[in-house]
Amino acid sequence: MTPFLKAGKTAGAVFIIIIIGLLSIVITLARLPLENLFDKNFKAQITPFSINFYKDDSDEVVFKVSPFDDYYYQSSFKHHIEDKSIYLQNQGLLDKLINLLSRMVNNKKLIWSMEGSKARITYTVFSKNGSLELVRQVHTLGIKVDAIGQSIVFCQTCMVTDEEKRVYFKASLLTQDKVDTAERLKLTPFIIENKMPYRLSKLNIVDLDGNIKATILITSYQEIFFEEQWQLLELKTFVNKTKPITVSQIIIL
């Protein structure tokens, strides 16, 4: 065999091995995406348009996060990070590979990236000692952003309370049933338009029996908005325009 032919066969063998190996990984990631993060207290699951969070082994979604619910602010104007589903492209193979490798080394992390018409957003869920940290990295496409509204949409029959045992309702949506429920649970109804009081350190999502489903920790520089008609809580965080936008929230399930 001439050296040239030998080198050719060697190169061919290397090429085939690498291509087949990479193709196998791609096929596996495409066909068997590991889109769940399991922790003793909760499960996070990637769906086409959101990440859903479940408490313990329940099948009921406690809350979800989505680019359709998150906001970006330009001065006082507020926009959804994405508002048209047809523009949304799901996460690439790299994120799936990172999710898989994280699982392999027992690193409790789940990544979900979306690209819309206005921004690219990556949600990273970290599991830490029974609580979760949800980090959003937002790359807006040529848009200057003053603040990010981190929204969570919580369970339909749930309510929002704080450490002062107040339960929040929107004035226009208040009913006698809700007042009775508050009384039964020994909570004080607190009527708001949509902006919550300052100096709250945490908010609880509770069910109709008063069980705490989730606790959201609040930092001092966040404004909180409550849209009861959509079961939505928004934590507005001001961002430094000169740096990449990364915001996070800690939630205990």
Partner 1 sequence: MFIDFLASISFYVIPYLTGRLFTVRFFYAYMLGALFWFFSYFIASYFAQIFYPLHFSAIIKALAISISVFSFINILMTTPKPTKLVLREHMAVFFILALSSLVYFLIWKNLTPYPLQLNWDIYEHIALANKISEGYISFLPSQISDTFTFNGYSPIFHVLLSLPKIIFTTNLLGVYWWLEYWHYMLTVLAAFFLAQRLFDNKQIASICAILSALIFESTVVYGSLFLLPQTLSALMAIFAIIIALDRKKNSLLLYAMTLTILFLTHYIVGILAAFVVGLFLVLYYKPLSFQAEKAVIAITTLFLIGAISLHVFGGWSLTNREEAGYFGFSLLHKMELFLDWYGALLAIFLPLGAIRILSDETHQKTVLIAGIFLLAVSLAPFSYVLKFFVLGRYFINAILALGIWFLISYLPKIGQILALTFLAIVFLIVFYANQAFYKEPLYFKGVQSHVSKAEIEASNWLSKNAKEDTFLVSDPSTQYVLEALSGVNTQGGSYMTQKTRDTLFKNNYLYDTRVIAQNLKSIQDLFLYERKKRKNTLFVLTGRYFAWQKLPREQKMSFYYNIWKPHKLEKRDLVYVNLLLKNSAFKVLYRNDEIIIVQI
By beta-carbon proximity to partner 1, the closer residue of 42 and 71 is 42
Closest by CA to 215, choosing from 83, 41, 84, 98, is: 41
- What's the chain's Rg over C-alpha atoms? 23
Q: Which stretch binds partner 1 (CB under 8 A): 32-40, 83-91, 198-206, 229-237?
A: 32-40
Sole binder of partner 1 in the list 4, 31, 48, 221 (CB under 8 A): 31
Among 4, 40, 86, 244, binds partner 1 (CB under 8 A): 40
177 scored as a contact of partner 1 (CB under 8 A): no
Among 3, 10, 126, 188, binds partner 1 (CB under 8 A): 10
Instruction: Please provide the DSSP assignment of 175-200 as one string.
Output: -HHHHHHHHHTT-EEEEESSBPPSS-
Stretch that binds partner 1, among 29-37, 109-117, 164-172, 188-196 (CB under 8 A): 29-37
Nearer to partner 1, 18 or 94 (CB): 18
> Is residue 47 at the binding interface for partner 1, with CB under 8 A as the rule?
no
Buried b or exposed e, range 89-111, using 16+ CB within 10 angstroms: eebeeebbebbeebbeeeebbbb
Tokens, residue 59: 């099948």
DSSP H helical segments within 87-206, as ranges? 93-104, 176-184
Site size with partner 1, rule: CB under 8 A:
30
| Among residues 32, 93, 94, 174, the one that binds partner 1 under rule CB under 8 A | 32
Q: How far is the CB of 165 from partner 1 (least distance, A)?
A: 22
- Taking the C-alpha atoms of residue 174 and residue 193, their distance in angstroms, rounded to an integer, is 11
Give residues 81-140 in contact with partner 1 (rule: CB under 8 A): 100, 103-104
Q: Which of 27, 94, 141, 191 binds partner 1 (CB under 8 A)?
A: 27
Q: 198 near 219, Cβ under 8 Å? A: no
In the region spanning residues 195 to 224, those forming contacts with partner 1, defined by CB under 8 A, are: 209
Question: Minimum Å distance from CB 89 to partner 1?
Answer: 22
**Which tokens is 228 given?**
């009861």
Strand ranges, E, within the chain: 36-38, 42-46, 51-55, 61-65, 71-74, 77-80, 109-115, 119-128, 131-140, 147-154, 159-162, 166-170, 188-192, 202-206, 212-217, 222-227, 232-238, 245-252
- Separation of alpha carbons 80 and 177, rounded Å: 32
Piece in contact with partner 1 (CB under 8 A), picked from 23-31, 71-79, 117-125, 197-205: 23-31
Q: Does residue number 173 form part of the binding site for partner 1 (CB under 8 A)?
A: no
Burial class (CB in 10 A: 0-12, 13-18, 19+), 84: exposed
Nearer to partner 1, 207 or 227 (CB): 207
Q: Binding residues for partner 1, per CB under 8 A?
A: 6, 9-10, 12-14, 16-18, 20-21, 23-25, 27-29, 31-32, 34, 36, 38, 40, 43, 56-57, 100, 103-104, 209
